[in-house]
């Protein structure tokens, strides 16, 4: 499990990021596909599913009874923290993200904003062009966001517009599930967007794939390009090491706490 949806039934039941599902209604998940597991977990709203969960942090295995309900996955979660710090979390880069992000200007991002926390933890990526559009808000015009290297060419993606975010420091929160398009955004903002990163080293997905469909319904997905940071570095397999490493331990959110401390004190 990457993470339960905030305010969803799993989170309210007490499930945590990186919990391992050992069984669903008593049926072992060993050897079954992700699609089969999801199918067993899903069901009509109001019905109950029992998940057997192993938590590596404690070494304990427990059962959780969860009542199913209809949930909507928000593309953006935002709030104003103490001292006018704007907190913005992107769970995935989908088509809705830009419209939802623009709605934050005024209520969350305004002339009183003293700093920004950009939470990309557990964001496994999504649409690359959305990450590029987001980076454009932080970067000055014509700054390179990333480069796409194929076997015979290199394509540079640059910010097409002047910076639109306030000129205040940004802290990006990352962990080992921050991947792909999230890493593109992280690298670009650290290079040119007055940003540092706090947390854990990112996943390290620095390649892109192409899907070829065949007439019989089968398909072939193969790697066709590698992307490079604005410093022309590959992060594939290595990830992006944060400027300040903070591991989550026990209860609370030590990474977010450290980000707020940095924005308040500057170190």
Superfamily of domain 9-67 in CATH is: PDZ domain (2.30.42.10)
Q: Give the pLDDT mean for 110-132.
A: 96
**218-229 confidence digits (pLDDT tens):** 889 889 999 999
- Per-residue pLDDT band for 156 (boundaries 50, 70, 90) equals very high
Examine domains 9-67 and 76-265 and report if their fold is the same.
no
- Per-residue pLDDT band for 106 (boundaries 50, 70, 90) equals very high
What pLDDT, on a 0 to 100 scale, did the predictor assign at position 2?
Answer: 67
Rounded to an integer, what distance in angstroms lies between the CA atom of residue 232 and that of residue 156?
A: 10
All residues at 6 or more sequence positions from 164 whose CB lies less than 8 Å from its CB, including other chains: 136, 137
The answer to whether 137 and 164 have CB atoms below 8 angstroms apart is yes
Given a cut of 80, whether residue 250 has pLDDT beyond it is no
Percent of the chain with pLDDT over 90: 79
Given a cut of 70, whether residue 133 has pLDDT beyond it is yes
Given a cut of 70, whether residue 169 has pLDDT beyond it is yes
Segment holding 132, helix H or strand E: helix 128-138
What pLDDT, on a 0 to 100 scale, did the predictor assign at position 153?
Answer: 93
- Per-residue pLDDT band for 71 (boundaries 50, 70, 90) equals confident
176: tokens are 């080992």
What pLDDT, on a 0 to 100 scale, did the predictor assign at position 219?
Answer: 87
What pLDDT, on a 0 to 100 scale, did the predictor assign at position 6?
Answer: 76
Can you name the CATH fold of 76-265?
Answer: 2-enoyl-CoA Hydratase; Chain A, domain 1 (3.90.226)
Q: Give the pLDDT mean for 226-241.
A: 96
- Per-residue pLDDT band for 73 (boundaries 50, 70, 90) equals confident
Q: Give the pLDDT mean for 30-55.
A: 91
What pLDDT, on a 0 to 100 scale, did the predictor assign at position 36?
Answer: 86
What pLDDT, on a 0 to 100 scale, did the predictor assign at position 74?
Answer: 79
**21-37 confidence digits (pLDDT tens):** 999 999 999 988 877 88
Lowest mean pLDDT among 146-150, 209-213, 232-236, 260-264: 209-213
Q: Give the pLDDT mean for 59-68.
A: 95
Percent of the chain with pLDDT over 70: 99
All residues at 6 or more sequence positions from 212 whose CB lies less than 8 Å from its CB, including other chains: 219, 220, 221, 222
- The domain spans of the chain are 9-67, 76-265
Residue with tokens 């996955």: 73
Using DSSP, state whether 34 is helix, strand or coil: helix
């Amino acid at each position: 499990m990457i993470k339960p949806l905030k305010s969803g039934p799993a989170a309210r039941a007490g499930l945590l990021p990186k919990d391992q599902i050992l069984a669903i209604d008593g049926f072992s998940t060993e050897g079954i596909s992700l699609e089969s597991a999801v199918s067993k977990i899903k069901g009509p709203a109001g019905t109950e599913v029992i998940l057997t969960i192993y938590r590596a942090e404690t070494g304990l295995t427990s059962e959780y009874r969860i009542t199913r309900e209809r949930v909507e996955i928000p593309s953006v979660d935002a709030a104003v923290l103490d001292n006018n710090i704007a907190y913005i979390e992107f769970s995935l880069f989908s088509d809705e993200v830009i419209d939802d992000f623009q709605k934050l200007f005024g209520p969350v991002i305004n002339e009183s904003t003293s700093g920004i926390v950009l939470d990309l933890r557990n964001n496994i990526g999504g649409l690359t062009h959305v990450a590029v559009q987001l980076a454009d808000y932080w970067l000055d015009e014509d700054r390179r966001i990333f480069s796409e290297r194929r076997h015979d060419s290199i394509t540079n993606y640059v910010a097409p517009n002047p910076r639109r975010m306030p000129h205040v420091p940004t802290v990006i929160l990352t962990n080992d599930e921050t991947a792909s398009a999230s890493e593109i955004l992280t690298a670009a903002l650290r290079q040119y967007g007055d940003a540092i990163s706090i947390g854990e080293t990112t996943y390290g997905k620095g390649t892109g794939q192409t899907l070829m469909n065949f007439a019989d319904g089968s398909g072939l997905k193969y790697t066709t390009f590698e992307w490079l940071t604005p410093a022309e570095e590959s992060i594939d397999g290595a990830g992006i090491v944060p400027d300040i490493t903070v591991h989550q331990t026990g209860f609370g959110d030590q990474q977010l706490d450290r980000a707020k401390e940095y924005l308040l004190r500057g170190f």
